[in-house]
Amino acid sequence: MLILTVYSLRSRLKTGSASPFPVSDDEISNSTAAISYDEQRRKELFQKDQIPWYIAYGGYVAVAAVSIGTVPQIFPQLKWYQILVAYMVAPVLAFCNAYGAGLTDWSLVTTYGKLAIFAFGAWTGASNGGVLAGLAACGVMMSIVSTACDLMQDFKTGYLTLASPRSMFISQIIGTAMGCVIAPCVFWLFYKAFEDVGVSGSEYPAPNAAIFRSMAILGVDGFSSLPKNCITLCYIFFVGAIAVNLIRDLVPKKVSRFMPIPMAMAIPFYLGPYFGIDMFIGTVILFVWQRLDKVKSDTYAPAVASG
């Protein structure tokens, strides 16, 4: 996926044609096709107020430096070089998460956080506090991946509503800075007000906390604690997903449009069958609506899908 994206960007830079937010091949028109006035205005405004690259890269490096200096003081089990590795790997995972969220409207940030738990927990080891190191690395990874996905969704909304991307970016920086202060204070007040927070069977059992802790222990103890044939199934489904993606990209378009996307197929397995059924019903409704009235469908479908 990353190779195809880099190749596509390189081709667009060569031809000088850049179209923001290409959702699918069906929606990418050639250079001679007519574009509506509203679409022209959206592209003009969105491209006019872009964020300079040096601010984006410089800001990321500055935040990484702050994290490298402060997080090990809070969690000594997580070393500074591990945080550096997390910040180097996070952009790749953030791109994958944003891409998946664009396909399914569902962010899998917790899944990427669990990958960090396994990787950094095993790296640190049980004798060096691998459980706490894995959980701390999970928090760092989730904050990066989640913020990137939310920002891309906000940019798409801003593109559709003719909002300035630079203003949206500045607003998100302000909101994130406020959250760094407000969120810990709210958690501390909540933790002090209720003594049984996180206790099993209490009013606030925090079940996700127990799940993440169990995964951290699993990451430290290794694959030997997994059920029988679990690793074999992981290998099979991994190879199967790669094969389906390759076939989908290589076969003709008239055939590939009938092939499923592994990323979208994985969502019901993670969330349960009810989510897949809801998506299927919504897809059928949208398909019929587009057949009956495509103009109104394109205009009101996002609002109807939002509930």
Q: For the chain, which residues make up each domain, given as ranges?
A: 1-24+34-48, 49-226, 272-307
State mean pLDDT over 265-278. Answer: 72
**Whole-number Å distance between alpha carbons of 205 and 198:** 4
State mean pLDDT over 69-86. Answer: 92
State yes or no: pLDDT of 34 exceeds 60: no
For residue range 35-62, list pLDDT tens digits in order: 677 788 888 878 887 788 888 889 899 9
Can you give the pLDDT at residue 16?
Answer: 55
State mean pLDDT over 200-217. Answer: 79
Confidence tier at 276 by pLDDT (50, 70, 90): confident
For residue range 100-137, list pLDDT tens digits in order: 787 777 788 888 888 889 889 888 888 888 889 999 99
Q: How far apart are the first and last CA of the chain?
A: 32
**Whole-number Å distance between alpha carbons of 304 and 302:** 6
State mean pLDDT over 143-148. Answer: 88
Residue 272 vs residue 23, higher pLDDT: 272
Can you give the pLDDT at residue 104?
Answer: 74
Point out the least confidently predicted range of 175-179, 229-233, 260-264. Answer: 260-264
* Residues 210 and 200: beta-carbon distance below 8 Å: yes
Torsions phi, psi of 213, nearest 5?
A: -65, -40
Can you give the pLDDT at residue 6?
Answer: 60
Q: Tokens 């593109």 appear where?
A: 159
**Whole-number Å distance between alpha carbons of 113 and 146:** 10
Confidence tier at 27 by pLDDT (50, 70, 90): very low
Residue 4 vs residue 136, higher pLDDT: 136
For residue range 238-265, list pLDDT tens digits in order: 999 999 999 988 998 888 888 888 877 8
State yes or no: pLDDT of 83 exceeds 70: yes
State mean pLDDT over 73-88. Answer: 92
Torsions phi, psi of 107, nearest 5?
A: -85, 130
Can you give the pLDDT at residue 153?
Answer: 84
CA angle 72, 76, 80 (to 5 degrees): 40
Q: Is 249 helix (H, G, I), strand (E, B) or coil?
A: helix
Can you give the pLDDT at residue 7?
Answer: 61
For the beta carbon of residue 59, count every other beta carbon within 10 angstroms.
Answer: 13
For the beta carbon of residue 217, count every other beta carbon within 10 angstroms.
Answer: 16
State both tokens at 27: 């929606």
**Whole-number Å distance between alpha carbons of 259 and 240:** 13
When the pLDDT of each residue in the chain is averaged and rounded to a whole number, the result is 81
Residue 96 vs residue 243, higher pLDDT: 243
Confidence tier at 301 by pLDDT (50, 70, 90): confident
